[in-house]
Amino acid sequence: MILFEGRFMTTAVHGKPTILLVHGAWHGAWCWDRLVPELAAQGWHTLTVGLPSASAGSNETAGMYDDARAIRARLDEVDGPVTVLAHSYGGVPVTEAAASAPNVSRILYLAGFQLDEGDSLVSESGGQLPSGDTGTLPVPDNAAKALFNDIAAEEADRAVRRLVPQSIRSFSEPLTAAAWKTVSSRYIVCEHDEMLPPAYQESMGKRAHRLYRLPSGHSPFLSMATRLAELITEDADS
């Protein structure tokens, strides 16, 4: 495994395509630390990207379109087909970026927002902007339970300490394209999710070409990384 510029890169050993891992709100590329070696063991060449909207700064203005540009830049680095795994909010900029990226062969929404053109997180929540004293949303007070409810308490606390504020703008910018309309997509429902209701995930999953379920909370890349890597690989091989 190679680590460069704070991002993981692994080399495929069984001819699998590249997989780009895109984190959700408040997170960073660190959240894939457990999944990356599991995917490498399955033969994947793995890349990650840090989204500009997730920052420790209180006056950040980066939005969803900035995130989409960061994702597209990573996709442009790859010569060959790319599978993209998008977690939670990460599904929004992935849906935007992958629509114009010719090398994306598959999108996996992991408890992700598989939205349509014109949609944003704000519109999906009833049109109300999230509250916040600055241009960012603080880490949720109930983050340990909402995001990491099926992880040991000590590990969940460590993960919570690594979360950073998220820009409000990223939740309000609407999609101008929907990649899943032209790119093969899958949806992975996290059945014990306390952040994004599983029933809502199921409804978004109807847009995907295949739907899978994991008996996990919102963050199976930490609670069941081996099973998640196996599911990704089984789907690619099917």
Q: How confident is the model over 195-237, as pLDDT tens digits?
A: 999 999 999 999 999 999 999 999 999 999 999 999 999 999 9
- Residue 139, SS3 per DSSP: coil
- Which run of H or of E encompasses 190? strand 185-190
CA distance 126 to 123: 5
Write down the pLDDT at residue 236.
Answer: 94
* Each residue's pLDDT tens digit, 64-80: 999 999 999 999 999 99
Task: Give the CA radius of gyration of the chain.
Answer: 16
Mean pLDDT of 133-141: 82
116: tokens are 């349509």
Share of the chain above pLDDT 70, in %: 88
CA proximity to 74, closest of 19, 27, 120: 19
- Band of pLDDT at residue 136, cut at 50, 70 and 90: confident
Model confidence, pTM: 0.91
Work out the mean pLDDT of the chain and round it to a whole number.
Answer: 90
Mean pLDDT of 149-153: 97
CA distance 38 to 43: 9
CA proximity to 160, closest of 142, 187, 176, 137: 142
- Band of pLDDT at residue 14, cut at 50, 70 and 90: very low
Q: How far apart are the first and last CA of the chain?
A: 27
Those residues whose C-beta lies under 8 Å from the C-beta of residue 202, and which sit 6 or more positions away, are 189, 211
125: tokens are 């929540």
* Each residue's pLDDT tens digit, 93-125: 999 999 999 999 999 999 999 999 999 999 987
